[in-house]
Amino acid sequence: MQSGDLFRLLIGLVLLGQAANLLVFTAAGLGDGTPPVVQIGERLPGDGSGDPLAQALVLTAIVIGFGVLAFCLALLSLGRVGEDMSNRKGGRE
Amino acid sequence: MIHDSIHPACLIGAAFLMGILAPLISRAVSGWVGAVVWGAFPAIAFGYFLAGIPAEPGSVWRDTLPWLSSFGMDWDVWLSPLGRILALMVTGLGLAIALYGGGYFKDRGERGRFFAFFFVFMGAMLGLAVTENLLVLFVFWELTSVASFLLIAHHHGLDESRLSARDALMVTGTGGLALLAGILLLGEAGGSFQIGELAEMSASIGAHPLYPAIFCCIFAGAMTKSAQVPSHFWLPGAMTAPAPVSAYLHSATMVKAGVFLLAILHPVLGGTAEWRFTLLVFGAATMTWGALVAMAQTDLKRLLAFTTLSTLGTLTMLLGLEQTLAAKAVAVLLLVHALYKGALFLVAGALEKATGTRDVRRLGGLMRTMPGLGAAAVLAAASMSGLPPFIGFIAKELVFALKWETPVVGWLLLACGVVAGAANIVVALKVGVTPFLGGGEDLARVEKLPGWRLWLGPSVLGAMSLLLGLFPDRLLGGLVSGAVSQFRAEEPTIKLALWHGINPPLLISVFTFMAGLGVYLARRRIRSTGRHLSERVGGWTAQQVFRAAFQRFLNFAGLLTTSARNGGLGGIVTIMLTVAAAGMVWALWRSGIEGLSKGVSPIRLDALVAVGVTAVAAWGATVARDRMMAILSLGCAGFGLAAIFAVFGAPDLAITQIVVETLTLAFFALAIYGLPAMMGRNAAACLPGMVGKNILAVGIGVLFCLLTLQAQRPDLVEPVGREIGRLSLPEGHGRNVVNVILVDFRALDTLGEVAVLAIAALGVSALLGSGRLRKEGPGQRPVRSAVLIASARYTAPAMVVFSFFLLLRGHNEPGGGFIGGLVFASAAMLGHLARFDGRPSLLRLKPAAAILCGLALSAVSGLPGLTMGSGYLKAVWGPELFVPLVGAVKIGTPLLFDIGVYLVVAGTVLMLFEAMVCAGSHRGRKEGLWT
């Protein structure tokens, strides 16, 4: 993210988004691998399943992150300013 | 009682409705019809509050409209005696102003604008008068400030108008914030926001440690609103507003709101030494200062504005005296001042219309040409001077008698009172008498005689002053006794009378009158002395100090901003990350790190592999120099993440991540088409000078790791997810808890999220332009891989079918609208890339139509729940259907909702894709890359 290059900035953005998703996912507690699905004949999801709320949040976050990325990519390809966006306004980095 | 049959809230709603309709009405009517239309609402409301006056003076009508009960924020409506007086002033004066405004503003657009804000203000003011809950009262309070701002800036083309409006809003808005803080503290101390309940607790509130803070905050609010020194300067500034606005807001009603608030809160907060001292000091200072400055003015409206200040100071001071007589004086003076000051402001406006000037030195001898207006002015001026038999006389006698009886400070107050009284007389003579009866040289000529509407209102107000003075007890006795009983628990019998015989107050009155007359006669000399003095202190008026301070503040903010950002993103990100890191260190330090090991679970091999792949790929993406390599590494990291999701039991996430990652790769590839394949070294990752940034990045990573471990501690909180999981099958009728959350329990969130997606798609297509894709024909074929074409021919339709399958089974198994939509969009994209002829018609879905249909479907699916009475987006379930391959599918609104999500997601991705391809092909053609 701290790189001056716009293309790298986008890559950083994607990675950051993925990391944030992962953070929310893990912060809610990892299960033992059982999905939060109520099996036929049961009334509750399996004991070791992760937190379904966090999963729902992350699911929408993934899709929205994609929408935002597409928007940024559109900006990138529109401006064609990918190479030297930095150092234009006298930014000293 | 009339309030039982028509609720006061209806009236307030009607006022706001009038405000909304005003521009339309203004276009439709004018003249007589207009006067009737504009005057109808204030007249009805006035009659309403008049008819509701209870037989027993002190009784209060109450009702509660539930709103946000859990926050203690119900709309408690009450009609207290003081509130009724305020409401009568607002509607009665409103009637006069409505008539006057119709004649004052000739331009229809201008008139519409005035009446729109006028009625909104009237509604807010009535709300203030009839609301008992302090939080709701605050809402109306702020609304009056906003309406005042808009009305002051009526002539928004003038710089001075805008500056004055801004000053007024800043001062009253700041006071409003303080008031809110005071109300919240009061609620904390008293356990309620209702004035009646708080009044019963007044002893414990007075002894509460928070009392000084509560009092200061609430007084700050009242002080700014009622323009007490030193926050008084916005009121003379507000004289840039048109005359009807000054008459209505800035003399009769809005500026009284602060005094009104102090009066109705007196039973709660009054009776303490702080209360008495503060109100007396500020009140007396304002009273004297306003009076002194007023005497040196020459502008009609400024003359009136400074005496308004003086009167507001008197009212505040009276509230600080806390005697039965004081309560009586406040109630009478509130009414009296509104009557004569409103009338005089209207007269001033009419004079300005007629002669084009407001300079009192250039006005004279107008009685012959404008007898109606002159009569109104003389009546009002007599009341203002406190001559018998006008009601102003009664008010003045009451005030003097009160000061006479006050021990110790009474003499000082009396001296200030004489100054204020003399100033009132001087100003009354200058505004009400000189322009009509006086003479002089260089007088302004009458250009246009004012119409009947411009003198009717002030005449009625002036006549009222006389009428009330002649029959004070019969007309006002009930109202005033009620107001007094609201102040003090015991209920003395209140008598209002014009003549009390020859007593000390009368002698003081006579002395004051003589003093005022003397000053008036010597006004030219006094004026030159005043100008001399004001030149001495030039540049240090409160208004100039405020504006200079405000400018400094803006400069400081600008300096802060420019020092924080030097134009590059990197600097800001560094600051943000550093602050975030500091916050995390603090949070960790607070919660202690000894429990960290509790969250660690045994390491699993499959998880380790997934994490390792992700980490290496992510690192690779940041250091690669080849763009394609960077993108592929990024994809790898994404798939690694999907593997992590899968390993830890989140199949929905894993599938979504895989599909999104594929799409991301494709989009990146489209976007970099035409950019040079290689790029410079990643400065942040490699240069030795960037060590600091790398340390920061690694530090943040470690901190997040620790924080996550901390979150794992089982002893912190019970996750909500368990509860949701328990409810999923019985209430959500679904076995896939994630999907149940998305389409049922938290459907409103999801609706917002798909709307965001749709907006992103629209944004991209607006940036890049779309819709040209279809027209280009099959001329260019970006992908010529035979393998892709051959396989896409079969996989794409299969994927479409699979996406339906995912959608339908989503409620019970991994899948759902999001995933289904993504898969469908991938199929359509594949079809486009391969560009085989005779595509299945499903792939020619119009993205915009899909997004619209989907959003509409999702939004509509919430309506059945609303009509069934359970709330928007609450699920309504129907029978279960058997679908081949999928199994049992329960029909219900969540399924419709999920189909809507499916359509939006599919449409969004396709729209994005079309836009990107379009931009790419244009660029490619321009540079000769494509044939």
Lowest mean pLDDT among B53-62, B125-134, B718-727, B919-928: B919-928
Which tokens is B138 given? 């605050």
> Which of B672, B683, B738 lies nearest to residue A52, judging by beta carbons?
B738
Is residue A85, in this structure, part of any structural domain at all?
Answer: no
> Which of B656, B711, B712 lies nearest to residue A62, judging by beta carbons?
B656
Query: Which of B352-361, B569-578, B676-685 is modeled with the greatest confidence?
Result: B352-361
Distance of CA B141 to the CA centre of its chain: 11
Residue length of chain B:
931
Element of type H or E holding B892? strand B887-892
Give the orientation angle of helix B410-428 with respect to helix B371-385, to 10 degrees. Answer: 170
Q: Which residue has the higher pLDDT, B330 or B880?
A: B330
Q: What is the pLDDT of residue A80?
A: 55
Q: Determine the residue of chain B that is closest to A3 in CA distance.
A: B684
pLDDT band for position B925 (50/70/90)? Answer: low
CB burial readout B123-136, b (16+ within 10 A) else e: bbbbbbbbbbbbbb
Q: Determine the residue of chain A that is closest to B764 in CA distance.
A: A71
The stretch A37-59 carries a mean pLDDT of: 75
Indicate the DSSP class of residue B626: B
Closest CA–CA distance from residue A40 to any residue of chain B (Å): 8
B chain contacts of residue A44, beta-carbon cutoff 8 Å: 725-726, 729
CA distance B90 to B118: 11
Contact B760 A30 (CB under 8 A): no
Distance of CA B82 to the CA centre of its chain: 27
Residue B279: pLDDT above 70?
A: yes
A chain contacts of residue B746, beta-carbon cutoff 8 Å: 56
Helix H, strand E, coil C: the string for A47-93 is CCCCCHHHHHHHHHHHHHHHHHHHHHHHHHHHHCCCCCCCCCCCCCC
Report the first-to-last Cα separation within chain B, whole angstroms: 86
CA distance B846 to B313: 69
Lowest mean pLDDT among B182-186, B381-385, B703-707: B703-707
A chain contacts of residue B812, beta-carbon cutoff 8 Å: 37
B chain contacts of residue A60, beta-carbon cutoff 8 Å: 742, 749-750, 753, 818
Q: What is the pLDDT of residue A90?
A: 37
Q: How many CB atoms lie within 10 A of CB B184?
A: 16
Assign residue B54 a region (left: φ > 0; alpha: ψ between -120 and 50; beta: otherwise).
beta
Residue B771: pLDDT above 70?
A: no
Q: What is the pLDDT of residue B835?
A: 65
Indicate the DSSP class of residue B743: I
Lowest mean pLDDT among B516-530, B547-561, B643-657, B681-695: B681-695
What is the DSSP annotation of B121-136?
Answer: HHHHHHHHHHB-BHHH
Is residue A23, in this structure, part of any structural domain at all?
Answer: yes
Q: What is the pTM of this model?
A: 0.73
Mapping DSSP to helix (H, G, I), strand (E, B) and coil, where does residue A41 land? coil
Closest CA–CA distance from residue B32 to any residue of chain A (Å): 58
pLDDT band for position B488 (50/70/90)? Answer: low
pLDDT band for position B115 (50/70/90)? Answer: very high
> CB neighbours of A7 closer than 8 A, spacing ≥ 6?
A76, A82, B627, B630, B672, B675, B679
Q: Which residue has the higher pLDDT, A68 or B678?
A: A68
CA distance B111 to B26: 6
Compute the count of residue pairs across chains A and B with CB atoms less than 8 Å apart: 258
Mapping DSSP to helix (H, G, I), strand (E, B) and coil, where does residue B811 land? coil
Distances (CA, A) of B419 to B410, B413, B522, B547, B618: 14, 10, 16, 30, 80
Element of type H or E holding B421? helix B410-428
The stretch B5-10 carries a mean pLDDT of: 90
> CB neighbours of B295 closer than 8 A, spacing ≥ 6?
B422, B423, B426, B427, B519, B523, B526, B530
> CB neighbours of B269 closer than 8 A, spacing ≥ 6?
B186, B202, B205, B206, B211, B214, B215, B218, B275
Residue B204: pLDDT above 70?
A: yes
pLDDT band for position B783 (50/70/90)? Answer: low
Lowest mean pLDDT among A12-16, B164-168, B903-907: A12-16
Strand partners, B62: B78
Contact B570 A2 (CB under 8 A): yes
Closest CA–CA distance from residue B721 to any residue of chain A (Å): 5
CA distance A1 to B688: 17
CA distance B918 to B767: 11
CA distance B652 to A50: 12
Which tokens is A84 given? 């030297």
Is residue A1, in this structure, part of any structural domain at all?
Answer: no
CA distance B82 to B512: 30
Q: What is the pLDDT of residue B843?
A: 55
pLDDT band for position B743 (50/70/90)? Answer: confident
CA geometry: angle at B872 spanning B870 and B875, to 5°?
A: 65
Q: How many CB atoms lie within 10 A of CB B838?
A: 6
Which tokens is A40 given? 């036929």
Closest CA–CA distance from residue B782 to any residue of chain A (Å): 17
Domain count for chain A, please give it.
1
pLDDT band for position B681 (50/70/90)? Answer: low
Instruction: Assess contact for B461 and B373: CB atoms under 8 A.
Output: no
Say if residue B928 is exposed, middle or buried (CB neighbours under 10 Å; 0-12, 13-18, 19+). exposed
Q: Tell me the residue type at B800.
A: V
Contact B566 A90 (CB under 8 A): yes
Residue B212: pLDDT above 60?
A: yes
Q: What is the pLDDT of residue B732?
A: 75
Closest CA–CA distance from residue B803 to any residue of chain A (Å): 16
Lowest mean pLDDT among A39-48, B580-589, B836-845: B836-845
- Alpha helix positions (H), B6-158: 8-28, 31-51, 81-104, 108-130, 134-152
Closest CA–CA distance from residue A30 to any residue of chain B (Å): 6
Residue B548: pLDDT above 50?
A: yes
pLDDT band for position B564 (50/70/90)? Answer: confident
Contact A56 B746 (CB under 8 A): yes
Assign residue B381 a region (left: φ > 0; alpha: ψ between -120 and 50; beta: otherwise).
alpha
Which tokens is B300 given? 């009609």
Instruction: Assess contact for B860 and B876: CB atoms under 8 A.
Output: no
Contact A28 B721 (CB under 8 A): yes
Closest CA–CA distance from residue B732 to any residue of chain A (Å): 12
Determine the residue among A73, A75, A84, A88 to mutate to test chain B binding: the one whose Cβ has the most chain B Cβ atoms within 10 Å: A73
Contact B768 A76 (CB under 8 A): no
Instruction: Assess contact for B123 and B144: CB atoms under 8 A.
Output: no
Q: Determine the residue of chain A that is closest to B703 in CA distance.
A: A23
Say if residue A2 is exposed, middle or buried (CB neighbours under 10 Å; 0-12, 13-18, 19+). buried
Residue B90: pLDDT above 80?
A: yes
Q: Which residue has the higher pLDDT, B96 or B711?
A: B96
Instruction: Label the pairing between strands B61-68 and B877-883.
Output: unpaired
CA distance B525 to B530: 9
Q: What is the pLDDT of residue B248?
A: 92
Mean pLDDT of chain B: 83
CA distance B600 to B589: 19
Closest CA to B420 of B299, B533, B509: B509
> Which of B573, B621, B685 lies nearest to residue A15, judging by beta carbons?
B621
Instruction: Label the pairing between strands B877-883 and B73-79.
Output: unpaired
Closest CA–CA distance from residue B841 to any residue of chain A (Å): 26
Residue whose token pair is 């991301």:
B664
A chain contacts of residue B887, beta-carbon cutoff 8 Å: none
The stretch B615-620 carries a mean pLDDT of: 84
Closest CA to B882 of B807, B803, B808: B808
pLDDT band for position B15 (50/70/90)? Answer: very high
Distance of CA B814 to the CA centre of its chain: 44
> Which of A40, A45, A71 lies nearest to residue B737, judging by beta carbons?
A45
The stretch B340-366 carries a mean pLDDT of: 90
pLDDT tens digits, one per residue of B853-893: 888 888 888 888 777 766 777 777 777 777 776 677 778 88
Residue B123: pLDDT above 70?
A: yes
Share of chain B above pLDDT 70, in %: 88
Distance of CA B148 to the CA centre of its chain: 14
pLDDT tens digits, one per residue of B144-167: 999 999 999 999 889 899 999 999
Instruction: Assess contact for B892 and B862: CB atoms under 8 A.
Output: no
Contact B756 A64 (CB under 8 A): yes
Contact B638 A18 (CB under 8 A): yes
CB burial readout B205-220, b (16+ within 10 A) else e: bbebeebeebbbbbbb
A chain contacts of residue B672, beta-carbon cutoff 8 Å: 7, 77, 82
Lowest mean pLDDT among B314-323, B427-436, B570-579, B796-805: B570-579
Closest CA–CA distance from residue A71 to any residue of chain B (Å): 5
Determine the residue among A47, A71, A93 to mutate to test chain B binding: the one whose Cβ has the most chain B Cβ atoms within 10 Å: A93
> CB neighbours of B330 closer than 8 A, spacing ≥ 6?
B259, B263, B315, B318, B319, B483
Q: Can you give the C-alpha Rg of chain B in angstroms?
A: 37
pLDDT band for position B215 (50/70/90)? Answer: very high
pLDDT band for position B387 (50/70/90)? Answer: confident
> CB neighbours of B927 closer than 8 A, spacing ≥ 6?
B674
CA distance B672 to B668: 6
Helix H, strand E, coil C: the string for B635-695 is HHHHHHHHHHHHHCCCHHHHHHHHHHHHHHHHHHHHHCCCCCCECCCCHHHHCHHHHHHHH
Closest CA to B259 of B82, B506, B50: B82
Q: What is the pLDDT of residue B772?
A: 46
The pair phi, psi for residue B210, each rounded to 5°, is: -80, -10
Mapping DSSP to helix (H, G, I), strand (E, B) and coil, where does residue B880 land? strand
Contact A43 B730 (CB under 8 A): yes
CA distance B756 to B135: 33
Contact A59 B671 (CB under 8 A): no
Determine the residue among B613, B645, B717 to mutate to test chain A binding: the one whose Cβ has the most chain A Cβ atoms within 10 Å: B645
Q: What is the pLDDT of residue A83?
A: 42
Closest CA to B336 of B513, B504, B466: B466
> Which of B574, B618, B729 lies nearest to residue A43, judging by beta carbons?
B729
Contact B675 A7 (CB under 8 A): yes
The pair phi, psi for residue B443, each rounded to 5°, is: -85, 150
Is residue A88, in this structure, part of any structural domain at all?
Answer: no
pLDDT band for position B176 (50/70/90)? Answer: very high
The stretch B581-610 carries a mean pLDDT of: 73
Closest CA to B923 of A14, A80, A25: A80
A chain contacts of residue B630, beta-carbon cutoff 8 Å: 7-8, 11
pLDDT band for position B113 (50/70/90)? Answer: very high
- Give the start-to-end residue ranges of the domains of chain B: 734-931
Q: How many CB atoms lie within 10 A of CB B357?
A: 16
pLDDT band for position B595 (50/70/90)? Answer: low
CA distance B457 to B453: 7
